[in-house]
Each structure stands twice: as structure tokens, then as C-alpha cells.
Structure 1
Amino acid sequence: MDADRDLNFAIGWNRFNLSLVGIWPDPLQNPKQKSGLSRCRFIIASFFMLGFVCIPQSANLVFIWGNVDMMTENLATANIPVANSFMKAFTIWRKRKVLKLLVNFFYQDWYTPKTSGERTIMLKNAKLMRKISIWCTILTQTLLIIYIVLKISAIIFSPDDSSRPMIYTAYFPFDVIKSPIFELICACQILSAFSGTVAYTGSDSFISMLVIHVCGQFENLRERLKNLVNDPNGIKTSQEFKSIFVGFILVHLYIYCYVGEMLLVQSTEIGFSAYESNWFNVPGKEARNLLLIIHRSTAPLSLTAGKFSTFSLQMFSKIVRTSLGYLSVLLTVTERKDNS
């Protein structure tokens, strides 16, 4: 079927990436199943990211504390990026029930009968989504491969075993210098790095896919409104156009607002995490650096409508309440005119 082919073209790359780490919110999955395979993949990916990068590198900070160069390398090279990847993957996994509903709307849009023009618009946006996903993946994986190749070269040409650098400098509570433990740790760190890049780019591409798809649906709606009077089958009853229009607008507005809410919450939580850390155990000069993070989180990242409003669940509820208020006034005025 054309719909199946078009749908696979639109979501194939994102579905493949997120399925690798077990966080693809598949709406077609049997709700009675425990999604054992996906859960297993997510647990394995999380184990690699936390067990071989985040936790060991965080522990290593204790031993290199005060050395700004080594601390910067520790945090910037893998610790913070991989931790961020894990948080993104965990958020998608935790919110998978809600995200399944969004993806289900996505599926329905592709399976709904449409004109050739509407299909063309949807495919145009699908190509854009696919390009974004592919190029983001290629870029991040290429940079990661270059880094790993350089590290492996340094390992191979090191003068002795004791001076061999790991892929990511980290602390483990056992001797990692001896073979084959050293090689096993390096292999696990490579797997954790690839898991992190897949989760990082996959989650961003997934959100971009939903937003771009909504933009395409709005474009189709504009075309339908333009050609409404020219419809050879005539205009449907006012009640049926109104119902379709209101339902369409509310569903897609909610998607915008939900995605914006996720972005607001996650970027704001960074400041709370910094505040809840053991900052009181850090020297004052270093603790002041956390103020930058806390201050920046007061202006969180957001999806905006121009520069005058921010997409969030609060905005969605405000729009619905305001619309119902206007509707109530209009109905009251109409009833009074009819009675008079």
C-alpha cells in the first residue's frame, strides 16, 4: 500500500535509531505485552551509558579535583553528553504511553485518505525530516568514530601497558590495566558512546519529526480552506466543517504545546538539579560556577509562537478556556436575538 510505504519512509530512520536503544513509542504494540525486547534494549543501553561512562567518570572527578584541564576533559568529552543522552532516553521511555498517542496521530494522518496534493506536501516534509535525522546521525557518528580511532591509535602506540589510555578516562574499583580486562572496558566504553549518540540524536530527531509533521498538516489545512468553495462535491453542513476544523486544530495545537512543555520542563530541571547537588561541599569559588547554570535555567528553552507566546500545556488550557468563554458569549447573544 502507498500509505505503508510513505509512512515507513517518513518514520523509518527515527524508528530504527530509537528502536536500537529500546525507546521507540510504537502505538501498534500489543498493550498486553510487556514490551520485553524494548525494555531489555533500554536497560542494556542505560547500563553501558551509566556503568562505563557516567558513574566511573563522575567517580574519577574526585581524584582529579582541582585540575581544571582534566576536569574539563572529563565533563565535556563524555560525562555530561552521555548523561544528557541518558536523561533524554529515560524521559522518552518514562513518557512512552503519552508519546504512543502522539505517534498514533502521526500514523492516522498518513492512513487517512488524502488528495495527491496533500500527499505531496506530507512527503515533502517527510523528506526534510529524513534528511535531518540522517545528517544528524552521520555527523555525530563520524565525529565519534574519529575520536575512537585516535584513542585506539594512542593505545596501540603507547610505550607500555601501564601508560595505555582508556577510551574515556574513568575510575573503576579494580585493576583495569591487565589484559583482557582493559580491552573489555574499552569495548564497553565504545558501546556506551554509540548508545549515547544514538539516544541523543534520535530523541532530538524524533521531536523534530513530530513538529515538522504538524507544520505539514497545517499547510494541508490551509489548502483545504482555500479550495473549500471549489469543492465539486459542495460544501458540507456548517456543523460538519466546524467539527472537523476544531478537532484538527485542538489535536495539533496540543502536540505543539506538549512538545513545548517537555522542552520547558527538561531545561528548567537543570537548574533544580544544580541547586539540589552538594554545592555546599564545594569551595566557594567553584560553587559560584553553579550560579551560572541556575541563572540560565530561569530562562528555559522553549517553542514560541513568534515572540509573544510560549507553547506549553498552560498555554493550551488558557486557549481552550478563553475559546469556551467566547463561545458562551456568542451563544448567549444568539439566543437573545432569536428570542427577540
Structure 2
Amino acid sequence: MIPQSANLFRVYNNLMLVTENLAVINFIAIIASMKFIVMKYNRKVYKNCFYDMLVLSELLGFYAKDLENAKVKEDIETMKQSEKISNRMSIMGNVLGLGTVVIYMIQRFFLIATAKMKGLERIFVFQSLFPEIFKVTPHYELVCLSQLMGGFMITTCYVSVDSLIYVLIFNICAQLQILRKELNEVINLLGIQQCPDDFQQAIRIVVRKHEHLNWCVKTVEDSFNYCFLVQALLSTLLMCFQAFMTFQAMAISDNIPVNDIVFLIVYITVVMLLIHFYCYMGEELLISSSELSDGVFESNWYSLSSRNIKMLTFIIFRSRIPLQLTAGKFNVLSMETYANIVKAAVGYFSVMVQLETGRQQTD
């Protein structure tokens, strides 16, 4: 990453090269490094006044227990459905992410082979600033090999952490749906039978489960909210830069290589898709947590005693504060946020086009 960043000082007056440098490797490396650091940090022991635990390991342990404890057919189906969604998102993200790297590597190795045949200066897999000694065999081949491996490692780190978050959050959404059904059944069965002790005990269990799910979401939120913020900001710039590179390539030449067009389109699609997954995940969490109170209204709550109805009001009031994932603690991840990110990227793209057009006219 350091040689790639150092190369910015050499190409600072070429907006096209600066854009390519930032979009292809630097921004992706920043996001991947931040996710890796967060994962390493949250593997440490988390201490409070009651017990010590490994934060992410504990969350994965709860996920495994939820799978084991699901006995009712409807609950199992609900969890399978959420697992299917998270698996599809993970597979799609990994395939498209690694596919983008493969397309880029093929494109760059084609350019390297062309430069070698024409006797031009050697170029690296990624834009980099190295001393001249690294352009001599075997140093050059070792640098290219290390950049090739680094590209795949960064991409794997970039998308694999997302897969973990998908699994955790969609499992929480499934548990909220199951809890909503349990609340409905408690009211309809124990409430109508006028068993105050059993009813209150069952409500306590529901409240404890709800608070446990609140804690799980808060843990994920506290661990990754700054990652969400950085990825949202840089994804906006990545979409803008890649669109600008596509526009410039089409404006400069009428015969653009097909592999260039394919890479640019796939790259933009992957960036938009990954941030869309985050926002979709946040939207589903908002909906699932807000609908918990519907389990009360869908039941025969009017048959309960006034004392038991008062107990339910606390659950209703708590569910009015929906669980949510945020980018930096201030911007809620939702489909509205995704729309704002796309609009911002389009706005920045138009500004860059205007600046480049004005510069060309001045020259």
C-alpha cells in the first residue's frame, strides 16, 4: 500500500491516474485493513462487572445455540430462510469481489506482456513507485507476485468480514420474528387461561430474550459502526471515480478494449452491491425490531386483565425504539441511506466531469 500511495506524488497532476490509483487499490486497502483491525480488536476479552467474554466468539456461540434450540418447524423454517439470505449475499459478494480481481489481473498482465514485446518500461500490477532496482529480474517478478497475492488477500478480507456480519444480523432478525410469534402465543394461551404466575413468568422470558437480542445488535453496532462509516464514504467516492474513469476512457478513445469496459462495469456493480447489502441488512433489522409490538396487537390482548395489559405496554414502548445499525453512530443504514449514497456519487461525478472539461478547455 505504501508504494501505491507514494506513486500519487508522481501522478498528482494527472486526474485520470490519481483516480485509478485511489479507486483500484488504496481505498479498498483502507477498508480491508480497518475491518481486519476491528476483527482483531474485538477478539480480545471484553470485561464488565459480571463476566469476561470474547465478543465476536460469544456472538457466534449464541448463533450456534439458536440453531440447536430451534425445535418448532416454523422456527426452523424462519432461521433457514434468514440463513439462506445471508449465504446468498456472502457467496455473491465473494464471487463478484474475487471475480473483479481476476478481471483486473488479466487486464494488467496483458498490458505487462504488451509493454515487454514493445520494449517499453516495465509496469507493475498496481500503480507503484519503486526504486529502479525493482524493475530488474528477478526483483520485478517477485514484486508482481507479491502484488498479485496482496490483491487477492485484500479482497478476501474485504468481503469475508461482511459475510460474518450478514450471518449475525440476519440471525437476529430471525430471532425477532420468532420472539414475535412467542409473544403472540403467550398472550393467547396463558393470558386467556387466567394463570397470572405462569403468564408473568412467560413474559419475563420474552423480555429477557428481547434484551439479549438488543445486546447482540449493540455489540455488532459498537464493533463495526466506524467500518460502516468508512465503507459508506469510500464507496461513494469509488462509484464516482469509476464512473469518471469510464467516462474519460470513452471520451478519449472510440476503440476501448472490451476487458476495460467489463472491468469498470463489474467494479462499479460490486461496490454498489456491497453497500446495498449493508443498507438492506439495516433495513431488515429496523423492520423486524419495529414489528415486535405487532405480536401484541395480533393477539387477543383485550381478554387480559388490566394488570397484564400494563405489563405488555413496556414491551410495546421498547419496540418503538427500533434496533438499528449506523454509520459512525449518526447515519442509520437503510435503503434511504443507500439512495442518498448513490445520489451523492452521481453529484460528485458531475463535478469531476465539469472540472476536467474546464481544465481541457483552459489547456
For Structure 1 versus Structure 2, the TM-score category normalised by the shorter chain is 0.5 to 0.7
- TM-score, length of structure 2 as denominator length: 0.57
Retained in 2: the 8 A contact 1:118–1:220? yes
Note the C-alpha offset of 1:91: 0.8
Task: For 2:133 and 2:205, locate their aligned partners in 1 and report how far apart those are by CA, in whole Å.
Answer: 66
1:133 pairs with 90, 96, 99, which one?
90
Retained in 2: the 8 A contact 1:154–1:164? no
Q: Quote the residue 1:142 is aligned against.
A: 99
2:215 pairs with 230, 254, 270, which one?
254
Retained in 2: the 8 A contact 1:260–1:310? no
- From the superposition, tell whether residues 268 and 211 of structure 1 become closer, same or farther in structure 2 (CA, over 3 Å): closer
Note the C-alpha offset of 1:138: 0.9
Retained in 2: the 8 A contact 1:133–1:205? yes
Q: Quote the residue 1:151 is aligned against.
A: 108
Identity %: 24
Q: Quote the residue 1:217 is aligned against.
A: 175
Note the C-alpha offset of 1:134: 0.4
Q: Quote the residue 1:78 is aligned against.
A: 25
Task: For 1:245 and 1:124, locate their aligned partners in 2 and report how far apart those are by CA, in whole Å.
Answer: 22
Retained in 1: the 8 A contact 2:42–2:223? no
1:241 pairs with 172, 196, 202, which one?
202
Task: For 2:177 and 2:231, locate their aligned partners in 1 and report how far apart those are by CA, in whole Å.
Answer: 35
- From the superposition, tell whether residues 208 and 264 of structure 1 become closer, same or farther in structure 2 (CA, over 3 Å): same
Q: Quote the residue 2:226 is aligned against.
A: 265
Note the C-alpha offset of 1:269: 7.2
Q: Quote the residue 1:208 is aligned against.
A: 166
In the alignment, does 2:64 pair up with 1:64? no
Note the C-alpha offset of 1:243: 2.9
Offset from partner CA, 1:26-84 (integer Å, 9 cap, x none): xxxxxxxxxxxxxxxxxxxxxxxxxxxx1111111222222222211111111111121
AA matched with 1:126? E
Unaligned runs of 5+ in 1: 1-53, 272-300, 316-340
> Where do 1:6-25 residues align within 5 Å?
none
Q: Secondary structure at the match of 2:134?
A: coil
Retained in 2: the 8 A contact 1:261–1:311? no
Retained in 2: the 8 A contact 1:162–1:177? no
Note the C-alpha offset of 1:184: 1.4
Task: For 1:150 and 1:191, locate their aligned partners in 2 and report how far apart those are by CA, in whole Å.
Answer: 16
In the alignment, does 2:164 pair up with 1:192? no
Q: Secondary structure at the match of 2:133?
A: coil
In the alignment, does 2:123 pair up with 1:165? yes
Aligned length: 230
Q: Quote the residue 1:3 is aligned against.
A: none
Q: Secondary structure at the match of 1:176?
A: helix
- TM-score, length of structure 1 as denominator length: 0.60
- From the superposition, tell whether residues 242 and 208 of structure 1 become closer, same or farther in structure 2 (CA, over 3 Å): same
Retained in 2: the 8 A contact 1:137–1:198? yes
Note the C-alpha offset of 1:163: 2.2
AA matched with 2:25? A
Note the C-alpha offset of 1:160: 4.8
Q: Quote the residue 2:77 is aligned against.
A: 120
